[in-house]
Chain A
Amino acid sequence: AIRMTQSPSSVSASEGDSVTVTCRASQGVSTNLAWYQEKPGRAPKVLISGVSTLQSGAPSRFRGSGSGTDFALTITYLQSDDFATYYCLQYDSYPWAFGQGTRVEVK
């Protein structure tokens, strides 16, 4: 099974900062890597699929990058609406796996 190691587990930042969350897969996942945003009491929302394809409705300040086993989600110019928990997901091979999550909190 492919394991997804996400870091950091939490990060404190201020509005206007840039934040980068990384995800490392225990083996290659091709381009089958997505990023999700989760807020309390709400269903998760997909931000990025296919490593770097921004989903409809997702702000352009979210950027996905990486290849092979190492991936990153970068949020440039953090907005108040971005304080949330973020997860990566590999959907290359079963069993699929989410990363452990990164909580982006107010500094």
Chain B
Amino acid sequence: EVQLVESGGGLVQPGRSLRLSCAASGFILDDYAMHWVRQGPGKGLEWVSTLEWNSGSIGYADSVKGRFTISRDIAKNSLYLQMNSLGAEDTALYYCTKGGSTGWYPESWGQGTLVTVSS
């Protein structure tokens, strides 16, 4: 059974950094595209970043490019999101998602970790 468990969220001051983690089980992370998707309070879904299965390509939303970095540790079967220069607009529930077997779209989702950026 696929499981994705996010951690690392919390309250952080504007301008500071935070690192989110996603522990994956039930599949080999290196075999799939992995993504981060977020949802701000009262807002819609926003794609944040994708790490393709062979690490051949990485994509970022314009709103986070240059500030966020996606990465993974194959040995730990874990995905990460390093978030720097955080602002109030980054306040959101962050979901770790696994790509599909027939396409890279987010197929399986974790329960999310909440990031609140506030002074």
- Which residues of A are in contact with B by a Cβ distance under 8 Å? 1, 32, 34, 36, 38, 43-46, 49-50, 53, 55, 85, 87, 89, 91, 94-101
Contact = CB atoms under 8 A, between A and B. Distances in A.
13 contacts: A34-B103, A34-B105, A34-B106, A44-B45, A45-B109, A46-B100, A50-B102, A85-B44, A94-B60, A95-B62, A96-B47, A98-B45, A98-B47
Interface of B: 37, 44-47, 50, 57, 59-62, 95, 100, 102-107, 109-112
A1 B57 CA distance: 17
A32 B111 CA distance: 25
B59 A95 contact: yes
Contacts of A94: 50, 57, 59-60
Given A34-B103, A89-B105, 11 more contacts: A44-B95, A45-B109, A49-B107, A85-B44, A87-B44, A91-B103, A94-B57, A94-B59, A94-B60, A95-B62, A99-B44
A49 B100 contact: yes
B102 A96 contact: no
Contacts of A44: 37, 45, 95, 106, 109
